[in-house]
Amino acid sequence: MLKSSNKTDVNTTELIINIDAETFEAAVEGEYQRQKKNIQINGFRKGKVSRKLAEKTFGEGAFYEGAINSLLGPEIDAAIAQENINLVDRPNVEVTSIDKETGVEIKVICITKPEIEISDYKGIKAAKKVNDITDADIDKQIDIIRKKNARIVSVEDRPAQMGDEVTIDFEGFFGDVAFEGGKGENHPLVLGSGQFIPGFEDQVAGHNVGDEFDVVVTFPEDYQMTDYAGKEAVFKTKLNAITFEELPEIDDELIKDATEFDSVDEYKADIRSQLESAAVKQADAAFESAVLEALIAKVDAPIPNCMYEQRIDEIVASFERQLQQQGMSLKLYCQYTGMDEQSIRDTYRDRAEGEVKLRLALEKIAELENLEVSEEEIENGLGEIAAANNMDVATVRRFISVPEYAADMKVQKAVEFVKENAVVDNSEAEEAAE
């Protein structure tokens, strides 16, 4: 039974639980009966050792640990439920006394979900600027069609220039010594792509097919291979081939062949419509992001660090799954990047802290505004998930915690509520543009 409950610190509650002697004795007897078949003492058949003899041989407390462990879960759960405590981490449990006459006393330290106070969440101001679609934006999309239908033309009558794709042989030297990784044959290189060390591509431009020449460059000071950083190198280079993309003229015939439209004008009109729609969505997303960032800034309550660590755990686990889908382990990723698991966790800390604060704020707003999720909404949502994954709702329910899903839906309602009550304010953006 719960003996006392005290809030010892912010987000920390101490419970003192007493297990009476009768209950403790019954648990000890139960633990003896569980272990009995495996108890063996010289002179006695296995499984025939009395409890009294076992305790005399192994100590009075031989069965205490198992007995207490069998009682902890139900007793702690009952106390937490009685006090309506919302845990955010596993409780810290300490057995403070054990006595056959008086029973067992347990101290339980509970880290509790913080109480968030949030105000001024209505009327948050944020910019919402829909970018104008220009002819240049449309031309960029048209160039995609042109590139897909481009003709690759070999060049023999002029030097290579930026934008050309060349094929080269090369070998790098420090002084007279060739260095590892500095050699290639028939290597394709688009001049101006920045694929090679700064200055390399500029020195290839201006040469003709068949030319052999030296390219002199200096490795950057922050070059990933530290033995090469800051060193001057000479690449003995041969230019084998030059090609360039010859883009077709955009006309009705090309549009008919390459798209579902009959004319350039129709295609441009469709591009404009899609870009305008995308611009509206982008502006809406940026507005929502700014509103939610402002909401995060309003959360100043102390939050248990374990909540941040748990969110980082989730983010890192998701990142690891993405790596696995690409055929890479987290360990191998760390080897490639020079990072360790802690530095990866540190990378995600700011994001995790923001997401935890935002979740708490939105949950509080949902409570204050009495936002609820109906059974119909839950069923419709589960139905959408089922349809998207080609399975039935019953199967979805086996894989998804419905209470957690409902909580997520309620949080999303809070997002929409805050957004709907926010105010578009472009004054700062307009001042900056002037």
- Asked whether the predicted pLDDT for residue 314 surpasses 90, the reply is yes
Tell me the average pLDDT across 300-321.
Answer: 94
What pLDDT is stored for residue 429 in this prediction?
Answer: 61
Residue 75 belongs to domain with CATH number: 3.30.70.1050
Cβ atoms within 10 Å of 414's Cβ, excluding its own: 24
Share of the chain above pLDDT 90, in %: 64
Tell me, yes or no, whether 89 and 185 share the same domain: no
Q: Read off the pLDDT of each residue in 236-264 and give the average, rounded to a whole number.
A: 91
Same domain, 61 and 158: no
- Residue 373: DSSP 8-state: -
307 and 217 within one domain: no
pLDDT digits (tens, 9 = 90+) for 194-214: 888 899 999 999 999 999 999
Give the mean pLDDT of the chain: 91
**Is residue 430 predicted with pLDDT exceeding 80?**
no
User: Are 372 and 400 contained in the same domain?
Assistant: yes
Q: What is the pLDDT of residues 364-384, one digit of tens each?
A: 999 999 999 999 999 999 999
Domain count for the chain: 3
User: Tokens 């090309």 label which residue?
Assistant: 254
Query: Does residue 299 share a domain with residue 189?
Result: no
Query: Mind listing the pLDDT tens digit for each residue in 51-64?
Result: 888 888 888 888 88
Lowest mean pLDDT among 223-232, 274-283, 292-301, 322-331: 223-232
In this prediction, residue 361 carries a pLDDT of 96
Query: Do 284 and 188 share a domain, yes or no?
Result: no
Residue 227's CATH number: 3.10.50.40
Q: Is residue 31 a contact partner of residue 70, using CB atoms and an 8 Å limit? A: yes
User: Would you state the pLDDT for residue 224?
Assistant: 76
Which pLDDT value is given to residue 258? 86
User: For residue 432, is pLDDT > 90?
Assistant: no
The last residue of one of the domains, among 62, 81, 111, is 111
> What local confidence, expressed as pLDDT, does residue 408 receive?
94
Taking residues 218-239, what's their average pLDDT?
87
How much is the average pLDDT of 141-164?
Answer: 90
Residue 256 has pLDDT above 70, yes or no: yes
Same domain, 232 and 270: no
pLDDT of residue 286: 94
Pair 272, 416 in one domain: yes
Q: What is d(CA 291, CA 278) in angstroms, rounded to the nearest whole number?
A: 20
**268 and 232 share a domain?**
no
Q: At what angle do helices 349-368 and 402-420 cross, to 10 degrees?
A: 80
> Do residues 286 and 354 share a domain?
yes
Could you tell me the residue range of the domain that residue 71 belongs to? Answer: 2-111
- Looking at residue 337, its pLDDT comes to 81
Q: Report the CATH number at residue 284.
A: 1.10.3120.10
What confidence tens digit (pLDDT) does each residue in 86-134 have? 999 999 999 999 988 899 999 999 999 998 899 899 999 999 999 999 9
For residues 345-363, average pLDDT:
95
Q: How far apart are the C-alpha atoms of 411 and 397, rounded to whole Å?
A: 20
Task: Say if residue 334 is in the same domain as residue 407.
Answer: yes
Question: Mind spelling out the 3-state secondary structure of 254-268?
Answer: HHHHHCCCCCHHHHH
Q: What share of the chain is helix, strand, coil (3-state, %, to 5)?
A: 50, 20, 30
Written as one string, the DSSP assignment of 221-281 is TT-SSTTTTT-EEEEEEEEEEEEEEEPPPP-HHHHHHHSS-SSHHHHHHHHHHHHHHHHHH
Per-residue confidence at 135, pLDDT binned at 50, 70, 90? very high
C-alpha 166/C-alpha 156 separation (Å) is 12
